[in-house]
Structure formats: C-alpha cells, structure tokens
Structure 1
Amino acid sequence: MIDKNLIGHEFEAVTLPVEEGRLRFVAKSIGETNPVYSDPEAARKAGHPALPAPPTFVFMLEVDAVDLQDLVSFFGCKLGQLLHGEQGFVYHAPIYAGDRITVKKKVADIYDKKNGKLEFIITENDFINQDGVKVAETRTNYVIRN
C-alpha cells in the first residue's frame, strides 16, 4: 500500500525552457495543422509574440519535471504496476517559445479501490512562467495495480 503520509509532499520545483523545435514536434505529433503552431511568422501575424504551445504541451513539461524512475521509487512500486489514469488541464495564460516554465508538483491525494488491488495517486501541478504568472495547472491521476 502506498503510504498516505505522502499526501501533501511537494517535489522539488524544476524550471524548463520552452523550445521552438519542441513545440513544432509536439504540434506535429498531435496532428495540429494550424501554421500558428509551426511557423513563427504565422504566429506573429495571428498576434502572438512567438510560437504558442499547442494544447496539452504542459503535460510534456510535467513529464520532464520528475524522472519516471524516481517517481516509481518514490511511490514504492514497480514501473510495470504504474498506469497513467487521467489528466485534467486548466489554462490561465498562453505559453510561448522562449518562455521558462517552473513546474511545481505535489501529491494531492492517495486512495485505493477493490480492497487495495488498485491504488490511486493524484498529483497537482502548477506551471509558472519567468514573469511569475501561473500559466496552467494540471491534475494527474496515477493508478498502481497491485
């Protein structure tokens, strides 16, 4: 069983660069065809100062902020037991190429179902840009199969 005393734990904040090439890659990966997400000139013509991050890009930042093996060790499970259950996004402001985003992750809840056969770890993640503006937040549900 996952230790419920982990609720409230805050992981070390990590600051990550938002790179133009990575934004293009993510846009292409999700099938985004709007040139605003791949062409800096199209982005500027649309009123953006640089390439904007495509939808769900913050999930990439969340994944980069904590090494998966470290997360598995922290939760005390094996990689083969860990599943990504659900993801929720709230956006407050755009993210652009050239931004530096600080990711703050904390354990919000831990509970089990089916008499402990399934355990759920809920994390809340804040994404803050270089100007101190919270640009997004996510809520991630990890499932551990016992």
Structure 2
Amino acid sequence: MAVNRAYLGRSFPAAEPYEVTRAAVRAFADAIGDPHPVYHRPEAAREAGHPDLVAPPTFAALVAGNAYWPLLEDPAFGFGTEGTVHLAQRFEYVRPIHAGDTLRAEVTPETLDTQAGRDRVVFRSLLRDARGAPVATVLTTLLAPEAASAP
C-alpha cells in the first residue's frame, strides 16, 4: 500500500502534551550513556544558567515520535510501523528543553519520495511550550516497510 499523499502538508497535533519530568530527562540521559551533570543534577543545571535539568538534545526525538507515531499506525496514511527504518533526524532549537516544560507537538508529513523502491517520508515536528512559544523543530526521515511480495 502506498502512502496517502493527501496527508502531505497537513498538520496533526499530538493528542496529549508531553510533560518533561526530571525522571524522564535522567532516564533518557542514562539510556544514551551521557553522564553530564546538567542532565542529572538540578543544582548543576542551575549553575549553568538553566531553570532545571536540561534534556539532552536528542530528547526532542522522543516528543516528536509521540506526535508522528499515530500517523504511522493510521491505516489511511498507508505507511505502517513493522519494518520501518529510521534514516535521519535533525534538530533545530530555539531554546533547550528543561524538566518542568509542558510541550505540545504538531507534526506535518512534509516530503514524500521513494528510495530503493520504498516510500520515504520526512516529518516536521514543531515543539511548543505551554505558552505556545517555539522550542524546537525536529525533522525525522523514515523509510517505509518493504512491500510484501505477491505469491
């Protein structure tokens, strides 16, 4: 099944805001193996000029993924999740993400083309804080599952 081009350029807000907690920041930093104190100790983050723990830069991918994953699971979108390959990720920050932030994500399937005979999509996820101010933009490139061969 091919990706439904009617989705291109349309924006889809995430169903729920993402509450950035200290526990989530620490767990993410641990998962990527980064012991930097600003990710683990509030006093270190404050000494560095931040209001609370700072999320590692790639943390934004977690928030963006929560926004675009429902599209991947939507049969009408036609992409699927089983066998999807993550090709690239790019982050554009307005400011760092901090523990205590409430982020709302809005995802837009921006580009659709093919690579090696498979659909490739680029999602643009705009992350905003509780006041609606932009925090970051995440560009995620995914390659669709390989089409099943006809018997």
In structure 2, what is the equivalent of residue 90 of structure 1?
92
**Is the 8 Å Cα contact of residues 8 and 109 (structure 2) preserved in structure 1?**
yes
Q: Deviations over 1:47-95 (max 9, x none)?
A: 2111111120000111223445x52334324432422111111111121
Please give the alpha-carbon distance, in whole angstroms, between the structure 2 residues aligned to 1:104 and 1:125.
Answer: 6
Does the alignment pair 1:143 with 2:137?
Answer: no
What is the Cα-based RMSD across aligned positions, in Å? 1.7
Name the structure 2 match of 1:119: 119
| Aligned CA distance change for structure 1 residues 94 and 65 (closer, same or farther; 3 Å) | same
Contact 2:4 2:76 in 1 (8 A): no
How has the CA–CA distance of structure 1 residues 67 and 108 changed in structure 2, closer, same or farther, with 3 Å as cutoff? closer
Task: After superposing the two structures, state which structure 1 stretch, 34-43 or 58-67, moved more.
Answer: 58-67
TM norm structure 1 = 0.88
2: CA distance, partners of 1:135 / 1:101:
8
Is the Cα contact below 8 Å between 2:72 and 2:81 reproduced in 1? no
1:109 maps to which residue?
111
Q: Which residue identity is paired with 1:4?
A: R
Match of 2:38 in 1: 36
Please name the residue that 1:128 is paired with.
Answer: 128
Structure 1 unpaired stretches of 5+ = none
Query: Aligned letter for 2:103?
Result: I
Contact 2:122 2:141 in 1 (8 A): yes
Question: 3-state DSSP class of the match of 2:57?
Answer: coil
Q: Matches of 1:28 and 1:122 in 2, distance apart?
A: 28
Runs of 4+ in 1 over 3 A off after TM superposition: none
When structure 1 is superposed on structure 2, of 76-85 and 22-31 the one drifting more is 76-85
CA distance in 1, matches of 2:131, 2:35: 30
The residue identity in structure 2 corresponding to 1:140 is T
- Residue segments in structure 2 that go unaligned for 5+ positions in a row: none
Q: 1:34: Cα distance to partner?
A: 1.4
TM-score by length of 2: 0.85
Once residues 76 and 4 of structure 2 are traced to their aligned partners in structure 1, the CA distance between those partners, rounded to angstroms, is 10
Corresponding residue of 1:76: 78
